[in-house]
C-alpha cells in the first residue's frame, strides 16, 4: 500500500489524473490524500469532486478555503468569481449530492502509523494534537447541521478573529479554526494571523511577520505536517517535518504528489489549454 499526498488541485483534473498515472495509482491498495482546495481556477472542478467522491475510502480529504467558499456560493451567500470556472459544477445534476459529500469532509487528517498530520494551510504553532482535533471536529460538526449556512458559513468571512484564546465564544473558536487551518500563511510574533501578505518568504519586507512554520511548534518534531495553500513558496520549506505541496498548478506551474513511504515527489506540469 502506498500513501500519496497531493497539493492543491483547484479543478486541474487532467493534471491530477496524469500525475496519478505516473505512479500507477491503484485505489484498491493505495490511498490518495488531498490537502484541500479541490475546486476553482481550473476547468475540472466537477470532475475532480466526482472522482474523489468515487474513491470513497481510498481518498483522505481536508477542506480548503476554496471548498468552503463553494458551500457559500452554492448556498447563495456569495457570488461565484468567473475566474473560478464553477458554472459546470454549479449547474450539474449532482451538485446537491456533491455539496452534501463535501460537508462531510474534515479540516484535518491523521496518518497515525507515520505520525503525519494534514491540513490545508497548516497548524497554529501553539496548538497541540488534542486542540487541533477538538477544534477541527467542532467545525465539522457544525458543517453537518442543517443550519450550517446561517450559523457558520455566513459568519466565517471575517479577519477580526486572528488570535487563539480559550475564552473565545464557541462561534469565534470555529471562525478562528477556519481562519487558521484554511487561510494561514504569515503570523506575528504573538501568533496573531496575518491575512494580507501572500508573498514568497524572501520578498516579505515586514519584519513583524514570519511564516507560521518558522515558529516553535507543539506538533513538531513528533509529527510531519503536510499542507498546501501557499503556492508562492513553491514547496520550499526548511524542515523534513514539513511538506508544502501547493506548487501553483492552477497558476501555470505544476501539481505535486508526495509519496510518503519513499519520501519522493512526483510532478505534473500544467497542461496548455487550446
176 assigned to some structural domain: yes
274 assigned to some structural domain: no
Q: How many Cβ atoms are within 10 Å of 155's Cβ, its own excluded?
A: 15
Q: Check whether 221 has a pLDDT greater than 90.
A: no
Secondary structure tally for the chain: helices H, strands E: 8, 11
Strand partners, 118: 109, 226
pLDDT, tens digit, 9 for 90 and up, residues 105-138: 999 999 999 999 999 999 999 999 999 999 999 9
76 assigned to some structural domain: yes
* Predicted local confidence at residue 273, as pLDDT: 73
Q: Check whether 274 has a pLDDT greater than 60.
A: no
Q: What is the mean pLDDT of residues 228-235?
A: 97
Domain hosting residue 196, numbered range: 3-269
Q: b or e along 90-109 (b: 16 or more beta carbons within 10 Å of the residue's beta carbon)?
A: eeeeebeebbeebbebbbbb
Q: What is the CATH number of the domain that holds 33?
A: 3.60.21.10
The C-alpha atoms of residue 77 and residue 150 are separated, in whole angstroms, by 9
* Predicted local confidence at residue 272, as pLDDT: 85
| Domains identified in the chain, total number | 1
Q: Check whether 75 has a pLDDT greater than 60.
A: yes
95 assigned to some structural domain: yes
The C-alpha atoms of residue 194 and residue 120 are separated, in whole angstroms, by 16
The C-alpha atoms of residue 61 and residue 230 are separated, in whole angstroms, by 18
pLDDT, tens digit, 9 for 90 and up, residues 50-68: 999 999 999 999 999 999 9
Amino acid at each position: 500500500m502506498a500513501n500519496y499526498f497531493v497539493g492543491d488541485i483547484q479543478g486541474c483534473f487532467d493534471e491530477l489524473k496524469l500525475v496519478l498515472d505516473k505512479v500507477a495509482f491503484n485505489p484498491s491498495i493505495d490511498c490518495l490524500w488531498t490537502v484541500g482546495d479541490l475546486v476553482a481556477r481550473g476547468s475540472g472542478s466537477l470532475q475532480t469532486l466526482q472522482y474523489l467522491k468515487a474513491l470513497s475510502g481510498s481518498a483522505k480529504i481536508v477542506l480548503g478555503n476554496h471548498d468552503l467558499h463553494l458551500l457559500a456560493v452554492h448556498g447563495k451567500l456569495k457570488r461565484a468569481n468567473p475566474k473560478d470556472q464553477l458554472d459546470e459544477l454549479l449547474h450539474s445534476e449532482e451538485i446537491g449530492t456533491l455539496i452534501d459529500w463535501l460537508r462531510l469532509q474534515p479540516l484535518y487528517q491523521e496518518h497515525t502509523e507515520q505520525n503525519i498530520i494534514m491540513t490545508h494551510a497548516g497548524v497554529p504553532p501553539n496548538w497541540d494534537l488534542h486542540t487541533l482535533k477538538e477544534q477541527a471536529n467542532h467545525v465539522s460538526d457544525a458543517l453537518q447541521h442543517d443550519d450550517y449556512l446561517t450559523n457558520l458559513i455566513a459568519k466565517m468571512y471575517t479577519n477580526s478573529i486572528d488570535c487563539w484564546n480559550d475564552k473565545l465564544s464557541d462561534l469565534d473558536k470555529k471562525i478562528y479554526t477556519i481562519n487558521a487551518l484554511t487561510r494561514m500563511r504569515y503570523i506575528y510574533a504573538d501568533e496573531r494571523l496575518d491575512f494580507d501578505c501572500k508573498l514568497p518568504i524572501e520578498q516579505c519586507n515586514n519584519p513583524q511577520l514570519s511564516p507560521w512554520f518558522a515558529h516553535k511548534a507543539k506538533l513538531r518534531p513528533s509529527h510531519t505536517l503536510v499542507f498546501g495553500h501557499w503556492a508562492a513558496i513553491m514547496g520550499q520549506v526548511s524542515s523534513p517535518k514539513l511538506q508544502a505541496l501547493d506548487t501553483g498548478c492552477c497558476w501555470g506551474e505544476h501539481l505535486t504528489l508526495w509519496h510518503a513511504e519513499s519520501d519522493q515527489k512526483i510532478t505534473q506540469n500544467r497542461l496548455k489549454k487550446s
